[in-house]
Amino acid sequence: MSQTTSIEEHCLAVTRKGRKVELSVSSLDSNHAQAQAADICRALGGESFSLSYKEKKSCYISELFKRLAFNDFSPKECFLWDGPSANESPCVYLFGTRIYVRTLQLKYLDIPKDDLTTKSTCKCAKCVNPYHFTYVNGKNAKLSCGDRKLLLAYRGQGAPVGQIAEALKVHRSTIYRHLNYERLSSRIEGD
């Protein structure tokens, strides 16, 4: 963002199940504000939203959405979450429910898979920098989506299971489990 760019401040009110949450939204212009409001509403599971020019005090969730909107993250540095945590994972409490921040970011960025989960590659529990995410299917998955594709490529080239496990830094049983899952999936799709 250049020094001469002016930033507009807005107040976003998102409604869900009769409850209303107000957040501060920073934007370049009114079109950018509308696009952000729609993305934030979708991420929060809101039913409707309204946007006004009144200023609202910024909070940690507003700051996160601002950084996402302006892509203000460095691939080299962690962005540590200042807000609450549950089970050592950054979260926020809105609409009377707990929402995990990484899941919120997936929805904001419109990454569609419902069973997709993020894991931090920097191993910092409070980091919410999207550059530090790897995407996995399921909470306890050992392999990322990219690792699973590599596994299939290695296997397609005839690499032994032990070598694949060593390359992906997982146990041999993880490789066998994924290969069996792939075999079953392809058999089911063929029926």
| Contact status, residue 65 vs residue 37, Cβ threshold 8 Å | no
pLDDT tens, residue by residue, 138-173: 655 677 667 778 888 888 888 888 888 888 888 888
Note the pLDDT of residue 19.
94
Q: What is the mean pLDDT of residues 129-139?
A: 77
Torsion on CA atoms 179, 183, 189, 191, rounded to nearest 10: -170
Q: What is the mean pLDDT of residues 13-41?
A: 92
> Around 136, how many Cα atoms within 13 Å sit in the side-chain half-sphere?
15
More confident position, 140 or 6: 6
Residue 191, pLDDT > 60, answer no
All domains in the chain, ordered by first residue: 8-137 (no CATH), 145-190 (1.10.10)
| pTM score, whole prediction | 0.69
Residue listed under structure tokens 């919120």:
104
Lowest mean pLDDT among 23-32, 88-97, 139-148: 139-148
Note the pLDDT of residue 15.
95
Average pLDDT score over the chain: 84
User: 184 CB contacts (<8 Å, ≥6 apart)?
Assistant: none
Note the pLDDT of residue 13.
94
Note the pLDDT of residue 190.
56
Three-state secondary structure string covering 50-100: EEECCCCCCCHHHHHHHHHHCCCCCCCCCCECCCCEECCEEEEEECCEEEE
Residue 37, pLDDT > 90, answer yes
Distance CA(136)–CA(117), nearest Å, equals 5
User: How many percent of the chain have pLDDT more than 70?
Assistant: 85
Q: What is the mean pLDDT of residues 77-96?
A: 91
| Contact status, residue 146 vs residue 174, Cβ threshold 8 Å | no
